[in-house]
Structure 1
Amino acid sequence: MADNQLGEFLRARRGAVSPDTVGVPAHGARRVAGLRREEVAVLAGVNADYYARLEQGRERRPSAQVLDALGHALRLDPDARAHLHRLAGTAPVLPLGRTPDRVSPALRRLLDGFPGSPAYVVNRTLDVLAANTLAEVLHSPFSDLDNLARMTFLDPAGRRFHTRWDRTAQAVVGHLRESSGLDPDSPRLRALVRTLCADSPDFAGLWHTHTVRGKTHDAKHFLHPDVGPLTLTYLALDVRDAPGQQLIVYQAEPSGPDAEALALLAALA
């Protein structure tokens, strides 16, 4: 990952804002995508030269007030605003110690306590650290249940399994971007991003948008070869005694076709 993370983030998000959405009038042909630097500076109420230095990496310690103003000008959502503050050093970057890769025995027992729900534990780089039997069966079309990003972008099963692949891909990249702000010096994250950028043009394109997204809850749409279409909602729970680990639990709407398909999958398991 590059040294000027703050400037790259600002530049990418500036390019993603349509002038008409923020009330900037269009005057002739625009040579840049999104907003110009000067327009962002006006919207945020900061000096244009100061903002240019932020993008260029010549100014790296803006105040929290300036960052809040830039977040508003760039229409950043809460995840992206928190990421912006972490890049600038105005928010805690990482709890003491890195995310442990060992899952506690108590958490493993909890995983097995969800016999009717696929459940697994991931770290900040989306490595699957542990999974219950139903989660393994759900992801059986993949060569390995090892890393959600690798599975999505590099495994041939990814595009068949995720029927809304584009949405899943954007979410996966957004999760990794958030991790890059939480632990910017992670060797594992650097190696994973390097591999994915080299082997997947789709990942590389999404990575350079600097879109940030926290993993909380969402609906996922699957196509499983044994039970057909399946829509499940996941909930991500932080593991308090292992910072950076998350427990992901999937559920189906009760008394519907997705619940029946999930029950059939559990029977196969």
Structure 2
Amino acid sequence: MKIFNPKIDYLAKFLKYGVPKIKNGKFGIRYILYPESALDRHIRKYGIFQDFMTTRAKELLPQDSIIFDIGANVGLMTLPFAVLAAPKGKVYAFEPDFPVAARLQVNVDINYLQNAHVIPKVVQDNPNLKEITLYRRRAIDGDNLVNEGLSSTAKIPLHTILGYTVMCTTIDAFVKEQKIERVNLIKIDVEGTEIKVLRGGERCIDQNRPIIIYEYSAIIDELSRSDNSAKSFEFLKGRGYIQFEIFNERQLKKINEPDASIKSSNIIAFPQERINAYRLWINNVLGGYEKI
């Protein structure tokens, strides 16, 4: 197995693609942008990424919220979470892909965010595991831009360029280690292992009943030959969560069972016993769909 050297890789990338630029996005948030990055294109064009949840999460959360951004990439959701949703709280941004985590740290630093903390670890389900293999994946889109947000502990041959050893933890282990007393929101985007993240946070989820946002993707399930999305849905359903698909970045659609027709989308899940607290927000977003 190849042991990855983040310093060498970061330098090689810098020499290949040139000097990155800093851009001021929406809400005064600054980003370091690379010309070859597919995700950075969203910032260049719109000034923010996935603005539905990054801007509207503040309507659901107290300002001192504790947020876990698991699969944080370069911080395109971490930064708005820290600035808008939890300015008096904390955002723990988990990103194990070393060169990506380096950019995440730079984005945190150039915004002088004291409430955002970069954790370069995989989040999974085994509390006894200290290291794990991460498969670094990169893809080139139709515009010859690089998608760096694909790395996973799931062994997906497509776009995998190497495997290397990284540190790992679980939600429950991290909460205990850091003596975190509550968690308000957990966002998970880990390319096919969302169910492992959820299982590793069983105690935290049962005790704190956070809002949970996770990726649901039939495409990734097929690539990884797993039923990760359905298992994630059933895990939360079994714990009394009501779940909605976020689509068109503006609307919600309630889903009651796993849906293989969802090719790639985000699901937002609310604990059923607290649904009345979120009812007005949900109904406003649902628009023409059946009200809860």
TM-score where L is the length of structure 1:
0.31
TM-score where L is the length of structure 2:
0.29
Q: Which structure: larger Rg?
A: 1
Answer 1 or 2: which has greater helix percent.
1
Answer 1 or 2: which has greater strand percent.
2
